[in-house]
Structure 1
Amino acid sequence: MTETQPSLSSVALKYGLMGALASVVFTAILLIAGVNVSGWIGSLGYLILIAFMVIAMKEYKKQNHGYMSYGQGLGIGTLVALAFGVLGGVFMYIYTSFVDPNYTATMMDKQRIELEEKGMSDEQIEQAIAIGESVSSPVMMIVWSIVGYLVIGFLISLIVSAVMKNNRPEFE
């Protein structure tokens, strides 16, 4: 008698999308309040990612009779992070394209002030701003969001999966 395992991807995407929605709401609140989302308070959004990774892994284990291998946990965590990256990127695309089209320019102005305060020359500042503008177009925000969440999510998953794994006994 072989029992079927629950779908890793369906569990991961369900909780990944729910968590990503919570993260988008958190980011929207910060943006509306005028809080710098790239500051330390914006990084609190990663706690949402970790929480939903844990919830997704617990659900998978529940559906799989209490078992989850390290690889399964790593897959779940990475898929949860992918959902965060896609939804977060699409949200920022919509926000910077339609809700606040001046967002990128405002961030570049703040960056210019910070660089001036560090004592950089005008030439260095112009180079830094040019690089910043080239990677902060609305489309690039989606790409960087996906890549960033995948990398960070994978690294977090390495740890969370190691803590939450519960291998099925070999001779069961």
Structure 2
Amino acid sequence: MTTMTEKQPSVGAAALKWGFIFGLIGVVYTLVLMVADLMMNPWLSSLTYLIVAAGIAVAMKNYREENNGFMSYGQGLGIGAIVSFLFGLVTGIFSWVYTNFIDTEYMSRMMEKQRVQMLEQGLTDEQIDAAMALTENFKGPLTAIFGSAIVMLIIGFILSLIIAAIMKRTRPEFE
């Protein structure tokens, strides 16, 4: 008697596809915030996490559909980690390109807004100068790009812990 084994879809393929798609959505959203000068608005900036969560959920749903309705918790975590890392990488590259080649004054405007906020919070000039000097250390391309990817990976992994627990559907043992 011959048995046909079904080929399981690739976790990486689903995650790469949706990571890049939602990364591009993140680029468009980031561009809108930057052009409208709303990047310092905490409510609007935090909507980025909803975009990442949606990307993770869509990627997991897509993988589960391709895998006959099944996805393990570990597969969900892997999908979420890859999607969020790619999201961070794509948006990080875009932000770096935008601030270094398209709108070269963007970072100085944001630094000035931060300075004003710190003054309103009652910080001294020495404290503000120290904070600004620290910020200057993190303006390099590698820090901007990989920093964004790593931060988004951590946030995405935390989101994936929750989303994968909701969306997992394990294959029965004796099927």
Q: How does 1:104-143 map to 2 (within 5 A)?
A: 104-143=107-146
Q: How does 1:131-170 map to 2 (within 5 A)?
A: 131-170=134-173
Residue deviations 1:61-110, cap 9 Å, x none?
11111000000000001110011011011001100110111111111111
> Residue 32 of structure 1 corresponds to which residue in structure 2?
35
**Which stretch of structure 1 is more off in the superposition, 115-124 or 60-69?**
115-124
TM-score, reference length from structure 1: 0.95
How big is the shift at 1:2? 2.0
Report the AA paired with residue 158 of structure 1: L
> Residue 17 of structure 1 corresponds to which residue in structure 2?
20
Residue deviations 1:30-79, cap 9 Å, x none?
11112125622011121111111111111111111100000000000111
Aligned partner of 1:95 among 93, 98, 103: 98
| Structure 2 gap ranges (5+) | none
Task: Count the aligned residue pairs.
Answer: 172
Report the AA paired with residue 85 of structure 1: G
Q: How does 1:68-79 map to 2 (within 5 A)?
A: 68-79=71-82
TM-score, reference length from structure 2: 0.94
SS at match of 1:41: helix
- Whole-angstrom distance in 2 between the partners of 1:27 and 1:110: 18
| Preserved CA contact (<8 Å) 1:69 1:166 | yes
- Whole-angstrom distance in 1 between the partners of 2:95 and 2:29: 12
| Preserved CA contact (<8 Å) 1:61 1:68 | yes
Q: Taking every aligned residue pair, what percent have the same amino acid on both sides?
A: 47
Q: Which runs of 4+ in 1 moved over 4 A?
A: none
- Whole-angstrom distance in 2 between the partners of 1:167 and 1:139: 39
The yes-or-no answer on 1:3 pairing with 2:12 is no
| Preserved CA contact (<8 Å) 1:37 1:43 | no
